[in-house]
Each structure stands twice: as C-alpha cells, then as structure tokens.
Structure 1
C-alpha cells in the first residue's frame, strides 16, 4: 500500500467518480467535518455531519461556487509557488492513519521536500476581515486534522479572497491541540455514528430540520416531560427579550427613516443606507379562487409542518 508520511493511501482518487468518493467519505471523519464536530464551524453544525454519515443516500451537490473553487485550486497553488518559491504536487489519494482509524484525509496538494501540505482556499470579498490576520478557526481545525492523519510537521494555507488578494499562512504542528481534536472526533464517531446516541441540540437550523424529519409520526396521547420547569421560565424570558430587541430595532430604523425623508440613499460615516421602493408581481389568490374555483382546486397543494408552541 502506498504511503504519504505516516498515513496509508487507502484509495486512489485520480479519476474517481464523485459518487464513489462521497460514499467512501461516509467511512470516516474528514477534515471539513472536524470543526463542525467541535461546534466551531459557522456554516455547518455537528448534526449535519451526523446525518451525512448515517444516511445511505448520496447527494451530489454542484453549484457555480463549488465549480469555480475546484477550477481555481490549481491557480491558487501556482500563485503559492510563485510567491514562496516552493514546489507542490498532487497526491490523489484518500488517507488513513492506524492511530486514528475513524479519521480520513484528502489533501489539496503536498509540498515537495517538506513534511507539509498545502490547502487552497477560494472565498469571497466578504471574508476579507476574517482572513486579515490569521486562518479562520474552522480552517485551522481542518489543517490540524490533516496533520494528525498524515503526521505532517506543518502546513501552508493559500487563500484567494474575492479574486483580488492572495493570503498565505503557515501553521506549525500543535500536538496538544491535535490530541484534543482527535479525542473529540473519536468520541463523536463511537458515540453517534457507531453508537445509538444522537448529537445534543445546538440551536442550529440544521438541528431543527433533523428533529422534524426524525419525528414525523404524531402520537395524540399527551406526554409528561421530566424537564426542569426553569427551562420554560428561561424560554419565557428569552421571548420577552426578543420582543424588546425587535421593538428597539424598529425604533432605530424609524428614526433613521425619519431623517432620510424622501432620500433613498444616505451615509453615516462610511456606512451606506438605502431606503428604496421595490415592486413585485404576485397572483391575487382571493380573486382567482372567486373567478376560477375549479381551476384553483386542480392546482392546490397541501403542505404540512409541525408547529411548536408553548402556552
């Protein structure tokens, strides 16, 4: 079996169909999963990782952002080489280390003559501030995950930001942090993927969707819950706070609008504010039902949702 540093190259991914690659990813925790498991990924929750690993269905997601990111990966790697004088190469493999059998790794590039790899990132201009001084934490965790699997001593991250700026960072191996990350990954894999438990609620939209999909059958008989009543008291307090915040937000917006009067654009310092008329075409459903009830009936669609209320 081929190796890269301390890791075995378990599968050759050169020309591997996307569906096959996605199926193999279900057999371990990947680098992009790691920060979600630690609840440090602002874009993806731990329950999303859980659902992807246990679901036998393969969903191939493709959008222009993903296509451009893949196409620009080689460009970013070339810029890294031009600016640093280093050389990189493709590895084309899915990696696994016997020390962490639950973890897998797919590297963008490996750095020639160094025990290091390169991660290529393509992001938009809205992330400029996030990348201004260091690699964002969720990307750092991904890199430390790869260092754990490979045994690499360091790595480089090269980011193309908004098609206008290249940022290059070096991350050195931090064994204490790596041990912590891998401990959490092992716990997640054994407890949730191999075990019968499900991740604890985290407040994410993903988790709400997960609960609605998991508990579709309705049991009419009431259930006595053994949850502390102070939970409901806290919920009441939070709802009251949200009402106050919403009211205060509307008040400030109204004060600004009152100052803007008929102007549709205004500035406060370098902050731009717009208050513009917008129009959209909608169907007058009430009139349509009155004039063509039979036609409307043929096109009616019933949707169901499970509504949560506390009285």
Structure 2
C-alpha cells in the first residue's frame, strides 16, 4: 500500500525535511543523467547538506507556478476530463526513498497530470511524439510510486502554444529508474560517497558556486590530484594536436576546391564562400573614448584555475 502524508499540514521547513529523506520525480532525470540543468554531484550535496537545497527564485519558476492552474484548466477544457489537486506526498510501498508530489490527478482514471510552461525556443523538444527525457523520467517515477497506468503532460509553450502528451506506463523504464535511484540512494546518499564529478556545465556551475568563498591558504594535494593535473595537461596537448590536425585537413580541402565556391562528394556538400563581418575596434575605442566607456564597465569576480608545472632543481 502506498504511504502518504498531507503536505498542507506541514510547515515549509517540515516539507523541505521530507524532501531530504528521499528522491522525487524531479530527481529522476538527474540520476539517469538526462537533466542538463543539474548533475548527480549537485543532487548529492543538496540531499546531504540541507543548507544548499534552496529554491531558485526566478521569473521562470514564478510564472510556472502562477500558470499551473491555467494549464490544468485548459487541459480540462480540451479533453473534457476533470482533474483535482493531490496534496499528499506519496511513498513507494516497497522503496520508501521514492516519493511523489504530483501537480494533479485525473478523476476517474489511474492517471496523473503534469503541468509545464516553457519558452518558445523549446518548442522543437515537444514536436510529434517527442517529450524531453527529464520529464519522461519524472512522470514514470510518479507512476512507479503510485501504481498509475498513465500520465498526461500539458505544456504552455511561449505563452500561446498549448501542447498535450499522453504517456503510458513503461515497466522497463520504471525498473531502470528504481535500480538507478536505489543505487544512488544507498551507495551515494546513505554511504556518504560523492558521485564521480563530471564535466557537465551543471557540475561546473555548482562547484564554482559552492566554493566561491576563498581562504587564502595553500594546501598539500594528494597523488590523486597529481594524476588529475597530468591528465589535464595531456588533454590540453591532445586538443592542441587535434586543432592543428584539423587545420591541416581543412587547408588540404581548400586546395582541392581552389577557386570554386562549392564541392560535393557522395556523403558531403562543402562550401567555401566569402563572408563579411564587422568587428569593434576596441583598441581605438579605448584610446579615443576612454572617459566615456569607463562608465559602462561591469565588474564580476570568478575563480580562475591555472596550472604551472614545478621544475625540479638539479
């Protein structure tokens, strides 16, 4: 039997504490590596350090919350179905670390409704039968917890394009989710083992944010750090060699084109056309308008990682 608590009876602090005690639908895509906005490393620290688990306060989230009722109502108008809020936090009957907070449930069906708002620039992600992988993982997670057979996703795209998707329960994907979430919960969260730090933008942004406060100290790094430094230097050499090799091949291809504007093989069409572009003469601008432009400088601070090899004295 699915366990539940009424979240309306919880204070915000109690609700956040409950979220710390398990994995929700929005965590599922992160654990499977399909959420470009958050990494497993960030999720680990958020679950193990409550002070880091702060709600992002921005216009996208604000309007997403405001428009949720509008999206749900439009779904009712277009389908003739009725939906209602579900104020419960549900727990999986066999895997208590899995919980679900759903936007709406569909009356008379074993189905849920997830309401989304997104930019018009994301319209292509919803074309045809497509649905962004992170949202597919989210609703399948909900179906895993509730035992529901179906999910509907209603999306307001760009403020004027309404999209609806119907998603059937996928037992194979649900098993993958349960296995991955169980592994992450037991072998990372409960064991206190940080997931391997990856090179995603989400991880980079989070690492930079987490360590933005600086101690003016120098520490001794381990042999593991020395291995990382050698790997970084090797990557730099490989990138340099690859760029030089690419330039070599491009020059050879240009030589084959000669004075021709385009060429074609069985597999490729290549063009070599003149292109005009305007660039700002920064040097001249600074010399002639120094007093003017100084008012337009914007100061920001970032931590810069620099590596210098230490030469042994002979």
* TM-score normalised per structure 1: 0.74
For 2:123 and 2:151, the matched residues in 1 are separated by 21
Contact 2:76–2:82 (8 Å) recurs in 1:
yes
Name 1:291's counterpart in structure 2. Answer: none
> Which runs of structure 2 are paired with 1:1-311 in the superposition (5 Å)?
6-10=1-5, 12-14=6-8, 16-57=10-51, 58-133=53-128, 134-208=130-204, 213=210, 218-220=218-220, 223=223, 225=226, 233-241=234-242, 259-260=275-276, 282-283=293-294, 305=303, 307-309=305-307, 311=309
Q: Once the 2 structures are TM-superposed, how far is the Cα of residue 41 of structure 1 from its aligned partner?
A: 0.9
Distance 1:185 1:259, change over 3 A: same
Unaligned 5+ segments in structure 1 are 1-5, 249-254, 263-274, 285-300
Secondary structure at the counterpart of residue 77 of structure 1: helix
Q: Following TM superposition, by how much is the alpha carbon of 1:100 offset from its aligned partner in structure 2, in angstroms?
A: 1.5
The answer to whether the 8 A contact 1:47-1:206 is kept is: no
Cα–Cα, structure 1 residues 156 and 244, in superposed 2: closer, same or farther, change >3 Å? farther
**Which residue is 2:260 aligned to?**
none
Q: Does the 8 Å CA contact 2:36/2:202 hold for their aligned counterparts?
A: no
Counterparts in 2 of 1:239 and 1:211: CA distance versus 1, 3 Å: farther
| Number of aligned residues | 271
Deviations 1:196-255 (A, max 9, x none): 311112212343456565797632477474579777534521354468889x9xxxxxx9
Quote the offset at 1:16 in angstroms.
4.6
Q: Could you tell me how far 1:155 is from its partner in structure 2?
A: 0.7
SS in 2 for 1:185: helix
Q: Which runs of 5+ in 2 are unaligned?
A: 251-271, 310-314
In structure 2, relative to structure 1, the CA distance for the partners of 1:179 and 1:137 (3 Å cut) is same
For 1:175 and 1:74, how far apart are their aligned partners in 2? Answer: 30
Residues 245, 46 of structure 1: CA spacing in aligned structure 2 closer, same or farther, 3 A cutoff? farther
Q: TM-score, normalised by structure 2?
A: 0.73
Q: Contact 2:85–2:104 (CA<8 Å) still a contact in 1?
A: yes
Instruction: Give the Cα–Cα distance (whole angstroms) in 1 for the partners of residues 243 and 14 of structure 2.
Output: 46
The structure that is helix-richer by fraction is 2
CA shift for structure 1 position 17: 4.4
